[in-house]
Amino acid sequence: MPSPRIIARDRRDTLGEGPMWSAREEAVYWVDILGRRLNRLSLRDDAVTSFEMPDVIGWAIEREDALGFVAGIGRRFVRLTLDPVTIETIAAPEDDRDGNRFNDAKADAKGRIWAGSMPFTCDRPTGSLYRLDTDGSATRADDGYTIANGPAIPPGGDFLLHTDTAEATVYRYAVRDDGSLADRTPFIVFDADWGNPDGMTFDADGGLWVACWGGSCVRRFDADGRFDRRIDLPASQITSCTFAGTNLDRMFVTSAADGVDEPAGGCLFEVDPGCRGLPTPRYRG
């Protein structure tokens, strides 16, 4: 397998996260949470653009019927447009939880957003899992997360995977017809030498790719949660991954420089996953 490619740019991310493929722009977006930036890599010419945000930004997801994004900025769901940056609050479900922030999110096939929150200190279970419906209403679907991470939802939408990185566990929820969740159950529990599970995405064959914080790799698991293979990376704090490109056969991987002294920490990588991904759902509100 070819070595990972480091995307050339003039900075590294303090806490890179949330990579997202935009088919309509032929670009990969990702955030630097602590650096308060939304980044954009054009696959047409490899140009990288960075947009400063007014607060920490956990993720950005494209809107289906409008330009721009819905994003998790600070503790709020917001509408976000670029050039110039404009922000409009949709919902503020965590205004009563000082010290928390949004961390990671995905849209599902019904156009809803599932988003996790967590404390800045990463040391207490004050985080939650939220569902943002297409009418702009936010519901706390589950609670008690220390480091909420990596929602992953298959196209059928009958279940959802969500991680507590602090617990080294990927959890599985059944999703009911009304969008509520059944009790969470452990799906994958990481071995001590794997690092900790972070951001996740499904491939077209039903495999689950998990970024390994502290593990210097992304790991693929089959549909039953059995480890299949891994792709090693030249940084320890790997945070998330996404499929991209016209054929969805390119994978981009984010990482963090915060707390480590590594030449490639905080870089955006491209790797060859040897498979294809799934189209990226958008928010339908």
Quote the CA–CA distance of 168 and 27 in Å, as a whole number: 31
Kindly list the distances between the CA atom of residue 128 and the CA atoms of 7, 22, 89, 123, in Å, as whole numbers in the listed order: 33, 27, 19, 14
Contact 143, 128 (CB under 8 A): yes
Quote the CA–CA distance of 285 and 166 in Å, as a whole number: 32
Kindly list the distances between the CA atom of residue 250 and the CA atoms of 27, 211, 258, in Å, as whole numbers in the listed order: 12, 15, 26
**Angle, CA of 219, 224 and 230, to the nearest 5°:** 15
Q: Which three-class secondary structure string do you get for 265-279?
A: CCCCEEECCCCCECC
Quote the CA–CA distance of 29 and 11 in Å, as a whole number: 15
- Strand, helix or coil at 166? helix
- Strand, helix or coil at 193? helix
DSSP string, 161-181: EEEEGGGTEEEEEEBPTTS-B
Quote the CA–CA distance of 235 and 213 in Å, as a whole number: 10
Encoding tokens for residue 23? Answer: 């088919």
Write out the catalytic residue numbers. Answer: 198
